[in-house]
Chain A
Amino acid sequence: MASFLATYDFLLVSMVLAAVLALTLYLPLMAGQLSVASPGFYALGGYIAAIMSTRIFPPGPGLYPVSLVLLEMAVAAVVSGVLGLAVGVPALRLRGIFLALATIAFVQILGVVALNLDVTGGAIGIFGIPQPFSSAIQYMWLAVPLLLVSMLFVARLERTRTGRALVALREDELAAASMGINPTYHKVLAFTTSAVLAGAVGAVSAHFINTWNSRQGTFDTSVNLMAFVLVGGSRTFVGPVVGGLVLTALPEALRGIAGVDVLPAWLAAFLRDGRLIIFGILIAIGTVFFPHGLITPGLLRRLGRRGARPG
């Protein structure tokens, strides 16, 4: 067990963080909005944590206090929320493809800005971010509660008045509006909540990865998130979580297979490095064969019934 954790500690934490990030794509999608803005807020959150821990708080002996990490997460969440509101209010008047494009533009702009500011370390970024833990696996103390809280939040959301409003908007925006639901208010709400969560994940990730630069939270990240949600499932919060966990683990699992000597070298190399190829192809297949993802509310209902039946 210990050696398993030692080998896979980095992966396990990455899986959990990926699952949370997947939820940030899921939240606007609940209201029918495809927004790939969360990588931008993720990047922002990471920079805030990196800057706070390397430039603002004085370095001390030993480990960096977890309480400060939590503070950074809170600051990242608030700043992301404010920026989310500022960007969301104008942007969420856009529909469909136009919104998706606007969020793509947003992430690109943030990336260029991050690449060029001194405070973000320019092209090099910020490195040597202090560690609150002595080993990677201990990051689970932050990652798992974050995942559980966000899962709980979204699960609860799906059962409340606000959650119902979001789903109504997704199903038929005009009908929902005719039933008294304010579209812009709710879309901005989903968008901003997503931004807050992404910022918090970014803050943890900056410590976890130890360095932060403009290569975090890019267009590639959007593609990863889309794969998580598209393959995992876009109609229930369980989908993105499973998608995030499994698809993050997949390349490692494939890498494990690649270690098996029987495989030809080119296939082994492909399995090792072809993460984006695999995700891209999965996205293409997913949109055709299972546009709502693998985990659907119907599947959950069936599993629930099977579990409830005795014997």
Chain B
Amino acid sequence: MNRTFLLQQVLNGLAIGSVYAIFALGYTLIFSVLRIINFTHGAIFTIGAYATYALTGSQFGINGLLAGATLPFRLPFVLALLGGSVVAALAGVIVERLAFRPLRVRGADPLLTLVSSLGVAVALVNITQYLFGAEPYSYPDPLQGLPSAVNFGTAAAPVLVRTVQVVIFGVSMVMLVLLTYLMNATRTGKALRAVAEDMTTSSLLGIDTDRLILLTFVISGFLGGVTGTLIGLSVGVAGPYFGIAFGLKGLAVIVLGGLGDIPGAVVGGLIIGLAEAFVPAQYIAYREAVPFALLFVVLLVRPQGLLGRAQVQKV
């Protein structure tokens, strides 16, 4: 296998992988604090993508209740991105208040919370589809000034990665650093980890668990919105169900990396991205099965994931 090809595949893998990584960061953050799998992350991600689309003043298509609608103003892309992510964060908070908090208050099994999040996610995605239709959308290109791809090879043997993918990789690394810093080096982070460890005791010690949980959902939702928009920018918004597809693949990423482990989300994402990139050409049709095959194997062999710790069951 020649070096150029190898490098290209590796970079493709990292590009795909960093997409999964930023998705997984928000996903695993909620698990790290609340020990629940929040499948609505995929729906929030969708809402963020659609909100940004609306905020760029773009028009919705012919299906859906709001067919042909546009907002009466248009924002430059970055502001739309931020705005859309704020909308996503808000959606996350609403979901938390309406769906998860009642379950938490009743001491519900995490499995029940997973089921609830599945229902809410499907409902939200279908509401989005009902409102905006299922057609693909693409954003007005904010990177017009920049070259469309970055060359990591030579002029003679080019190894190209699209600029937007480089941006995504950069964002994922920045997010990783920021979240790790937050969790490990700030007081808020310490409080979050206390809540993760033992919610009742933390609350008794005067930690405002409600506010911290809210903060977790705000961060996670915002991240979800950013992710949705960036991915929409990179591959286009392929209909609201792409949130469900990501939600499902995201499960593989966070389990592989270790549920609740923040660096694990990035490691898991990059590994799955690389695995997908290196699927041999004749099996390319089965590429979509790769994350799930990995998920199944990891669950059987090492359910705590690569970076997670094995859980000792106390009898």
A–B contact with Cβ pairs below 8 Å: the answer is: yes
Question: A interface vs B, CB < 8 Å?
Answer: 34, 90-91, 93-94, 96-98, 100-102, 104-106, 108-109, 112-113, 115-116, 174, 219-220, 222-223, 226-227, 230, 266, 269-270, 273-274, 276-284, 286-288, 291
Residue B26 CB within 8 A of the other chain: no
Q: Which of A96, A98, A109, A288 contacts B106 (CB 8 A)?
A: A288
Contact B315 A96 (CB under 8 A): no
Chain A: CB-nearest residue to B294: A105
The interface-forming segment of B149-157, B162-170, B220-228, B244-252 is B244-252
Partner of A101, one of B121, B130, B286, B299: B299
The answer to whether B303 touches A109 (Cβ under 8 A) is no
**15 A-B residue pairings within 8 Å (CB atoms):** A96-B110, A97-B110, A100-B111, A100-B114, A101-B37, A105-B252, A108-B289, A116-B286, A279-B119, A280-B124, A283-B123, A287-B112, A287-B113, A287-B119, A288-B103
**Cα distance, A12 to B271, chains bound together (Å):** 48
Residues of chain A lying within 8 A (CB to CB) of residue B315: 174
B126 within 8 A of A: yes
Query: In the complex, what residues of B have CB within 8 A of residue A104's CB?
Result: 248, 251, 292
Q: Sorted from nearest, which 10 A-B pairs have the closest CB atoms? A: A283-B119, A280-B123, A112-B289, A287-B116, A105-B292, A116-B285, A280-B119, A108-B292, A280-B122, A105-B295
Cα A230 to Cα B119 with chains together (Å)? 11
**Chain B residues in the interface with A (C-beta under 8 A):** 37, 65, 98-99, 102-103, 106, 108-116, 118-124, 126-127, 130, 244, 248, 251-252, 255, 285-286, 288-289, 292-293, 295-296, 299-300, 303, 315
CA distance A220 to B129 in the complex (A): 15
Asked if B130 and A277 sit within 8 Å, CB to CB, the answer is: yes
B121 lies within 8 A of A280 (CB) = yes
Residues from chain A with Cβ under 8 Å of B293 in the complex:
105, 109
Residues of A within 8 A of B119 (CB): 223, 226-227, 279-284, 286-287
User: Which chain B residues lie closer than 8 Å to A106 at the CB level?
Assistant: 292, 296
Residues in A with CB closer than 8 Å to B303 are 94, 98
Whether B289 lies near A109 (C-beta < 8 A) is yes
Contact A105 B123 (CB under 8 A): no
Q: How far in angstroms is the closest Cβ of chain A from B293?
A: 6
Q: Are A287 and B103 in contact (CB under 8 A)?
A: yes
Alpha-carbon distance A62/B293, docked complex (angstroms): 44
Indicate if the CB atoms of B288 and A112 lie closer than 8 Å: yes
Given contacts A96-B109, A105-B295, 13 further A-B contacts (CB under 8 A): A97-B114, A98-B303, A105-B292, A106-B292, A109-B293, A109-B296, A116-B285, A222-B118, A226-B115, A266-B65, A280-B118, A287-B103, A291-B108
Q: For the complex, give the distance between the alpha carbons of A273 and B98 in Å.
A: 24
Output the least CB separation between A115 and chain B (Å).
7
User: Chain B residues with Cβ under 8 A from A284's Cβ?
Assistant: 98-99, 116, 119-120, 123
Q: A residues within 8 A CB of B288?
A: 108, 112
In angstroms, Cα B114 to Cα A102, docked, is 14
Task: Give chain B nearest CB distance to A219 CB in angstroms.
Answer: 7
Nearest chain B residue, comparing its CB with the CB of A222: B118
**Interface contact B111-A102, CB-CB below 8 Å:** no
| CB–CB A102/B115 < 8 A | no
- For A108, A109, A287, the residue with the greatest tally of chain B CB atoms inside 10 Å of its CB is A287
A98 to B305, CA, bound (A): 11
Contact B285–A115 (Cβ < 8 Å): yes
Query: Do A220 and B122 form a contact, CB below 8 Å, given A97-B110, A287-B103, A288-B116?
Result: yes
Q: What distance in Å separates the Cβ of B253 from its nearest Cβ neighbour in chain A?
A: 12
What is the CA–CA distance of A281 and B37 in the complex, to the nearest angstrom?
18
Complex Cα distance, B111 from A112, in Å, reads: 26
What residue of chain A has the Cβ atom nearest to residue B288's Cβ? A112
Residues of A within 8 A of B130 (CB): 269-270, 273-274, 277
- A281 near B248 with CB under 8 A, answer no
Q: B123 and A101: CB pair below 8 A?
A: no
Pick the contact of A97 from B65, B102, B111, B289 — CB < 8 Å?
Answer: B111
Report how far A44 CA is from B103 CA in the complex, Å.
35
**Complex alpha-carbon distance, A102 and B293, angstroms:** 9
In the bound complex, residues from chain B placing their C-beta under 8 Å from that of A101 are 37, 251, 255, 295, 299
Q: Which of A269, A277, A278, A288 contacts B102 (CB 8 A)?
A: A288
Query: Quick one: closest B residue to A278, CB to CB?
Result: B123
Q: What is the distance, in angstroms, from A77's C-beta to the closest C-beta of chain B?
A: 24
- B248 and A219 within 8 A (CB): yes
B67 → A minimal CB distance (Å): 11
B127 surroundings in chain A (CB, below 8 A)? 274, 277
Q: How far, in Å, is A123 (CB) from chain B's closest CB?
A: 10
A282 to B, closest residue via Cβ: B119
- Are B118 and A226 closer than 8 Å at their CB atoms? yes
Bound-complex Cα distance A174 to B103 (A): 25
Given contacts A96-B110, A109-B292, A280-B124, contact A269 B65 (CB under 8 A): yes
